[in-house]
Amino acid sequence: MNAIISATELASDLTGKNPPVVLDVRWQLSVAKAAGEPPFDGRAAYASGHVPGAVYVDLDRELAGAPGTGGRHPLPDIAEFGAVMRRAGVSAARPVVVYDGGQGWAAARAWWLLRWTGHPDVRVLDGGLPSWKGELSADVPVPVEGDFEPVAGPDGLLDADGAAALARSGVLFDARAGERYRGEVEPIDRVGGHIPGAVSAPTTENVGPDGRFLPAGELRDRFKALGASDGTQVGVYCGSGVSGAHEVLALAVAGIPAALYVGSWSEWSSDPSRPVATGPDPQ
């Protein structure tokens, strides 16, 4: 099953016999802003216009647990996540399409959570809301309660020890910007740098100028050049398990399965006992 869907395909599917549940997960990373500048409000953006029938899901509150020792966006409580999805109309036998404002990170986080907890048919709108050419709606739907019961998957998730081990035995991609990987800047976390052995693979290089994913063949060639050869175990981390989910999605488009270290650098760097590498070299 393809992990992404075009706006044209979504428009067609919405008129079909089993239309997908559509989730709007617009979100932006909260970093220090100029004095007086309000933070991004995804719910307000949703209220101003969304794909007709889409249900808003809050990444910070519903696709993640409370920030703490597990990082800025740790896993949500699985039972609570299931309740959120059912309220949004998600059922096991009905496809789901997720979109955000175009960056793709937040949509990928929802995609990854649903796939990891057992939903069989989830896709991300390639290019996000900017790719949608149909009319937008301000109506807030009241969906019929879904029946999706999430079950944490046996694979696809890394903890800190697993990520460290994979950096030695397979390939662990760091999806953050190169300057954060090298430790030249760190705008959010305690210290800059990367997990020793991790390979820099900025997620921004998986998409074109329009925010859409590069063709599958180009993505496959990119990741293989970075070490993801056939049979190699692959993992991904980022700052807090959001942009890393987008890289896992890009790898899925390329046909390469990968696990996500959800705690990512925000968890790793919070523990002074964990080693930190800096510079362009993985080690």
| Catalytic annotation, residues | 238
Residue type, 40: F
What tokens appear for 175 in the block? 């999806």
> CA-to-CA distance for 181 and 175, rounded, in angstroms?
9
Please give the C-alpha separations between residue 71 and each of 7, 16, 117, 172, 268, in angstroms, as whole numbers.
33, 41, 20, 18, 8
Question: Are the beta carbons of 99 and 124 closer than 8 angstroms?
Answer: yes
CB 175 within 8 A of CB 265: no
Residue 131: exposed, middle, or buried by beta-carbon count in 10 A (0-12, 13-18, 19+)?
Answer: middle
Tell me which DSSP letter residue 71 carries: B
Give strand pairing partners of 259.
235
Measuring CA to CA, which residue among 169, 147, 143 is closest to residue 158? 169
Q: Can you state the angle between helices 216-225 and 243-253, rounded to 10 degrees? A: 110
- Residue 235 and residue 251 in contact, taking contact as beta carbons nearer than 8 Å: no
Q: How far out from the chain centre does Cα 77 lie?
A: 17
Q: How many CA atoms lie within 13 A of 128 on its CB side?
A: 20
